[in-house]
Chains A and B, each alone.
Chain A
Amino acid sequence: MWAFANKLASPRNFYRLAGKLTPWLGGASLILLAVGLYGGLVLAPQDYQQGDSFRIIYIHVPSAWLSMFGYAFMAVSGAIGLIWRIKLAEAIAASVAPIGASFAFLALVTGSLWGKPMWGTWWVWDARLTSTLILFFLYLGVIALNAAIEDKRNAARASAVLAIVGVVNIPIIVYSVEWWNTLHQKATISIMKMQAPSIHIDMLIPLLIMALAFQLFFFTVVLMRTRGELLDRERNSRWVQELVDGKTPATTAKANEFSVSPPTS
């Protein structure tokens, strides 16, 4: 098991495996997205109060979930990079930031579009909305920090620290609607509370399909971006040179430069 993890953590092996996985994950995500959208926009019944407007839930809620999941994912890979100095973990953390930022942005925009007709306002400074905006800014901070430091390995360490500091915001977003009076409604689906979701089953099923589709899409894009990051970070290594030259990777290429970065400091 560890042996497999070690092998996978080598940039070259990960690059090849990710390349094979991407079309499958992407294809599954597209199919689920089509099924979920049809279920959500056509099959699901109207809401008793909101009519058809509630259907934005099928984009808004999966985006919001993924923006939080992405942040935790980024912070954990950042921490692994920080502690064990694994190049792959650093590349993954750097790849996730723009993806997570996009999901956070999507959640904010769809929420705002829904808020205008339903609440009567585009934006309020309540705890849920504000903490989600902070999440978006944290993502931007990580992206900026990664871009500002020229040496990629130093950049990874600095942005990992920022990502870890920002983790405190995740429970605040999740519980903001419980701890404070907010305009935003409470959670409809909650694993923590162990109670049935307060959404009708016909509306719930497309939502779960969409959530799974978004999750697979997330991993598809993470794999694609991480491959790009690895090529950039390893551009001086032999396996990338060979890839560029169009040669098949030589079997003799099992030298040390492909393995996990040695613990430097």
Chain B
Amino acid sequence: MSFITMTRKHKQRLTVVLLLVVGIGTAVALALSAFQENMLFFFNPSEVVAGEVPTDRTIRVGGLVTNGSVKRANDSLLVEFSVTDTKNSVPVKYEGILPDLFREGQGIIAIGRLEADGSFKAQEVLAKHDETYMPPEVADSLKAAQAENAQIKMPESHRAN
């Protein structure tokens, strides 16, 4: 009648439950590591430049919008910019509405196809937000401090894995 007793029956059931957790855990871990490649949401510009990405289907390319690369057409929604992982960059063409967070230096993911000339024609552009939240004043003072150090550091979340 007591709450936590350990009769043989209870020990058996406890063992079965623990084995179940360990077994399922192992099976899922093996399955996920086998599908590691397919679980990647996007490719890096370096992989694109090295030709490691498929050209015959829609892919995703993720990186930072290169500073000073954004060119907007005056009479349409056409935008041209390049994405970089600070080593290599890929030119991107996109026609449509960009998300709020899109700006130079921002992490983005472009969905589309690689053209024959090595440029990327995007059907959709998603902004990738990083995990930092701060008031504008703090961001300004951080930026000023960073400019003094003259070091452009890439946020960890956008680095190639």
Chain A residues proximal to chain B, CB less than 8 Å: 2, 5-6, 9, 45-50, 53-54, 57, 79, 82-84, 86, 117-121, 124, 126-127, 161, 164-165, 167-168, 172, 179-183, 185-188, 198-200, 202-203, 259-260, 262-263, 265
Q: How far is the CA of A126 from the CA of B109 in the complex (A)?
A: 12
Nearest Cβ on chain A to B77's Cβ, whole angstroms: 13
Q: Find chain B residues with CB under 8 A from A84 CB.
A: 3-5, 10
Interface residue tally for chain B (C-beta within 8 Å) = 50
Q: Indicate whether B39 reaches chain A with its CB closer than 8 angstroms.
A: yes
* Contact among A53, A117, A183, A198 for B132, CB-based, below 8 A: A198
Identify the closest chain A residue to B39 (Cβ): A180
Given contacts A53-B100, A83-B13, A180-B41, contact A9 B135 (CB under 8 A): no
Number of A-B contacts (CB under 8 A): 140
The B interface, classified by DSSP as helix, strand, loop or mixed, is mixed
Establish whether residues B127 and A79, one from each chain, have CB atoms under 8 Å apart when the complex forms. Answer: no
Establish whether residues A168 and B21, one from each chain, have CB atoms under 8 Å apart when the complex forms. Answer: yes
Establish whether residues A200 and B135, one from each chain, have CB atoms under 8 Å apart when the complex forms. Answer: yes
Q: How far is the CA of A96 from the CA of B161 in the complex (A)?
A: 38
Q: Find chain A residues with CB under 8 A from B147 CB.
A: none
Q: How far is the CA of A48 from the CA of B137 in the complex (A)?
A: 8
Given contacts A49-B101, A83-B13, A121-B124, contact A2 B4 (CB under 8 A): yes
Chain B residues proximal to chain A, CB less than 8 Å: 1-5, 7, 9-10, 13-14, 17, 20-21, 24-25, 28, 32, 36, 39-42, 62, 97-102, 109, 124-140, 156-157, 161
* Contact among B7, B21, B126, B134 for A200, CB-based, below 8 A: B134
